[in-house]
């Protein structure tokens, strides 16, 4: 019915091993042993499954339950169901917490209570589903209780999802290690393999090391995968965050979720390079979803509907608009944004009037080109850049040998997705390869983080 997902295979393997053990006369098989055998068997058959988030969450959650199960006190039946349900839910959540925060950037704080309330509905829904499948003649009779249970489960899930949660940015390998190092002494103490005071001291030491070494401000730039469009996030010390373009309007909520997953509560500055749907189409709605300190736009275009809508959205949210053009310099978070295009009264089409700026931070130089044709590059100050945001999604007129000779980038990012325009142009890719530029693409590499160090 659902296919061989890693979590389903884990459950089936554990159940199979348990049944074999019972058939062989073994009265009791520890849950941890079942889990280890299932893990070994699954990795032998499908070693690539270890990269699956479903695999990781499934095994970590059951490991947490296996470690906590022997610690649950003996209680009367109704108390055991309540205490056991809550305790095992917390154990599973503790085991998976860093992975959940890292991969989703969000933790619903009411999830233990949600599991306690809603899991009994799952326990009712599963046998009803099997009965409907096994007894087709009774499917009409079983439809009402099945549908009611499913609606209660979905409604309850939506209700709990609306409650407050914890937002968090990504974790590196050190964050994972320190988290589990802080849990290990407590687990050993609960199993009486370590003195409680020593366990608390070791756990506290791990937490203090984590707090002291936490790299809360990691200056970097995230080139975000918004399909055939552009969006980049620059994170600087002091919590300064700059967004350059915001992709399409239809994905504004997706972009807001991505920013939340990266720990962004608000933006100090949003830059809209030009009023094209694949660059600033998502900005008007994003202004409603994420607080923005200021909005930098090119010279006003009263006849352009998107430019007018974006400026109206900024006024409605009280976001100051800074009109920038060649020669304007903005400084924040230790970085400098030097705008080199367009001139204040630039003629031509939208792409010809696209903002181009050089972002400099501690010796690192990034050239953001919007959709500007490369013929304008001769008016931009030359000098080697570390990162080139390839203009116009890799269109033929956006990246020429003259531009590459002028800026000699080390890395190039192409914001490209499925399209009917032939982007990126094969000639552009050949030129980048000839200049030994490392090419990163949204359609192949997804969202990419580049450190600014």
pLDDT (tens digit per residue) in 364-415 = 999 999 999 999 998 899 999 999 999 999 999 999 999 999 999 999 999 9
Beta-ladder partners of 338: 329, 358
Q: Is 39 helix (H, G, I), strand (E, B) or coil?
A: helix
Do both 148 and 184 map to the same domain? no
Do both 108 and 204 map to the same domain? no
pLDDT given at position 15:
87
- Among candidate residues 156, 190, 214, the one where a domain is terminated: 214
List the structure tokens of 47: 């070693």
Do both 247 and 184 map to the same domain? no
Q: Backbone phi, then psi, for 326, in 5-degree steps?
A: -55, 130
Do both 96 and 205 map to the same domain? no
Distance CA 299, CA 269 (A): 17
The reply to whether 1 falls in a domain is no
Torsion, Cα of 96, 97, 99, 101 (10° steps) = 150
Task: Please report, for residues 137, 342, 381, 401, the alpha-carbon distance to residue 376 in angstroms, rounded to integers and kept in the order given.
Answer: 74, 9, 11, 13
Domain with 264 in it: what CATH number?
A: 3.60.15.10
Do both 335 and 293 map to the same domain? yes
What pLDDT band is residue 106 in, cutting at 50, 70 and 90? low
Total tally of structural domains belonging to the chain: 3
H/E stretch holding 140 reads helix 139-161
Do both 198 and 160 map to the same domain? no
- Among candidate residues 155, 182, 214, the one where a domain is terminated: 214
List the structure tokens of 317: 């949210």
The reply to whether 242 falls in a domain is yes
Do both 361 and 441 map to the same domain? yes
Do both 192 and 150 map to the same domain? no
Distance CA 195, CA 205 (A): 15
Domain that includes residue 205, residue range: 172-214
Do both 40 and 162 map to the same domain? yes
Contacts of 308 (CB under 8 A, 6+ apart): 301, 302
pLDDT (tens digit per residue) in 321-352 = 999 999 999 999 999 999 999 998 766 567 88
Closest CA to 449 of 284, 263, 233: 233
Q: Backbone phi, then psi, for 375, in 5-degree steps?
A: -65, -20
The reply to whether 326 falls in a domain is yes
Statement: residue 287 has pLDDT above 70: yes
Do both 129 and 36 map to the same domain? yes
3-state per-residue secondary structure call for 427-448: HHHHHHHHCCCEEEEHHHHCCE
Do both 92 and 161 map to the same domain? yes
Rounded mean pLDDT of the chain?
85
The reply to whether 20 falls in a domain is yes
pLDDT given at position 48:
82
The reply to whether 390 falls in a domain is yes
Statement: residue 214 has pLDDT above 70: no
The reply to whether 328 falls in a domain is yes
CB count within 10 Å of CB 220 equals 16
Q: List the single range of 36-45, 90-99, 232-241, 353-362 with lowest mean pLDDT.
A: 90-99
Do both 145 and 234 map to the same domain? no
pLDDT given at position 18:
85
Average pLDDT over residues 101-122: 77
Buried b (16+ CB within 10 A) or exposed e, 3-21: eeebbebbeebbeebbeeb
The reply to whether 209 falls in a domain is yes
Task: Please report, for residues 76, 222, 242, 248, 265, the alpha-carbon distance to residue 268 in angstroms, rounded to integers and kept in the order given.
Answer: 56, 16, 6, 21, 10
The reply to whether 158 falls in a domain is yes
Largest Cα–Cα distance in the chain? 87
pLDDT (tens digit per residue) in 10-27 = 888 888 888 888 888 776
Average pLDDT over residues 237-259: 92
pLDDT (tens digit per residue) in 269-286 = 999 999 999 999 999 999
pLDDT given at position 348:
59
């Amino acid at each position: 019915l659902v296919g061989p997902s890693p979590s389903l295979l884990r459950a089936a393997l554990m159940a199979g091993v348990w049944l074999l053990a019972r058939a062989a006369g073994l009265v009791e098989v520890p849950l941890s042993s079942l889990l280890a055998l299932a893990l070994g068997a699954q990795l032998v058959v499908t070693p690539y499954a270890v990269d699956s988030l479903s695999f990781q969450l499934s095994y970590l959650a059951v490991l947490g339950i296996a470690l906590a199960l022997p610690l649950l006190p003996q209680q009367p039946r109704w108390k055991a169901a309540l205490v056991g349900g809550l305790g095992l839910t917390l154990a599973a959540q503790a085991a998976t917490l860093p992975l959940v925060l890292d991969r989703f950037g969000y933790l619903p704080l009411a999830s233990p209570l949600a599991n306690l309330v809603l899991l009994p509905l799952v326990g009712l829904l599963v046998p009803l589903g099997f009965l409907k499948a096994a007894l087709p003649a009774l499917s009409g009779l079983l439809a009402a209780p099945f549908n009611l249970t499913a609606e209660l489960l979905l409604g309850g899930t939506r209700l709990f999802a609306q409650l407050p949660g914890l937002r968090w940015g990504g974790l590196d390998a050190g964050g994972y290690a320190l988290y589990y190092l802080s849990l290990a002494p407590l687990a050993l103490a609960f199993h009486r393999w370590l003195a409680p005071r020593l366990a608390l001291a070791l756990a506290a030491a791990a937490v203090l090391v984590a707090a002291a070494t936490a790299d809360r401000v990691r200056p970097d730039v995230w080139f975000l995968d918004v399909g055939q469009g552009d969006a980049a996030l620059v994170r600087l010390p002091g919590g300064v965050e700059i967004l350059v373009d915001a992709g399409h309007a239809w994905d504004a909520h997706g972009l807001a979720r991505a920013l939340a997953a990266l720990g962004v509560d608000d933006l100090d500055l949003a830059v809209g390079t030009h009023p094209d749907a694949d660059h600033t189409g998502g900005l008007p709605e994003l202004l409603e979803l994420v607080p923005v300190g200021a909005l930098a736009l090119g010279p006003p275009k009263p006849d352009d509907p998107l430019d007018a809508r974006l400026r109206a959205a900024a006024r409605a949210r009280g976001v100051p608009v800074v009109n920038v053009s060649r020669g304007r310099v903005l400084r924040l978070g230790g970085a400098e944004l030097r705008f080199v295009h367009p001139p204040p009264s630039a003629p031509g089409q939208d792409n010809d009037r696209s903002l181009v700026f050089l972002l400099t931070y501690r010796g690192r130089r990034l050239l953001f080109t919007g959709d500007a044709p490369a013929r304008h590059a001769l008016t931009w100050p030359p000098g080697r850049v570390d990162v080139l945001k390839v203009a116009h999604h890799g269109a033929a007129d956006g990246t020429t040998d003259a531009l590459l000779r002028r800026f000699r980038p080390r890395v190039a990012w192409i914001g490209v997705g499925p399209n009917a325009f032939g982007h990126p142009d094969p000639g552009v890719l050949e030129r980048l390869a000839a200049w030994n530029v490392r090419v990163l693409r949204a359609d192949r590499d997804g969202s990419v983080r580049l450190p600014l160090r």
